[in-house]
Amino acid sequence: MVTILLTKGCPLADLEALAYFIYEAGRDKYVFLLASVDFSHYLPIEETAARDKITQELIYAGDIQSIKNLDSGNLDSPEAVALLLGYAARFPDPRVELMESIIMPESQDKPHIGYSYNAYVFTIR
């Protein structure tokens, strides 16, 4: 197991180089990449849902450049998602599937402020 910490604002070229390194190093091995990323939070519930939809469309499209440019209203670590997509793109026919998406109010006192939880699985053959 290797832990990789990505800094906010890590250049896209560095993320692409890291994705390539992981791909090359794991060519004859089983590789499991896991990224923990906070999606929309501390926003009005309607905005949380709208931002999650934008993020989902970019993930499904594999639009690494646009994901990298998202702010913390969409993702707290667009770098981690960009790395996953960059790695997956090195394989023929990678699949991305949203397994679960939940939007919850912050509290009973603040039902108009939301958090979202999204679980994506990237499958490589």
pTM equals 0.88
Residue-level pLDDT at 55: 96
CA distance 17 to 23: 10
Q: Tens digits of per-residue pLDDT, 48-71?
A: 999 999 999 999 999 999 999 999
Confidence of residue 114 (pLDDT cuts 50, 70, 90): confident
- What is the domain partition of the chain in residue ranges? 12-21+33-123
Q: What is the dihedral of CA 54, 57, 60, 61, to 10 degrees?
A: -110
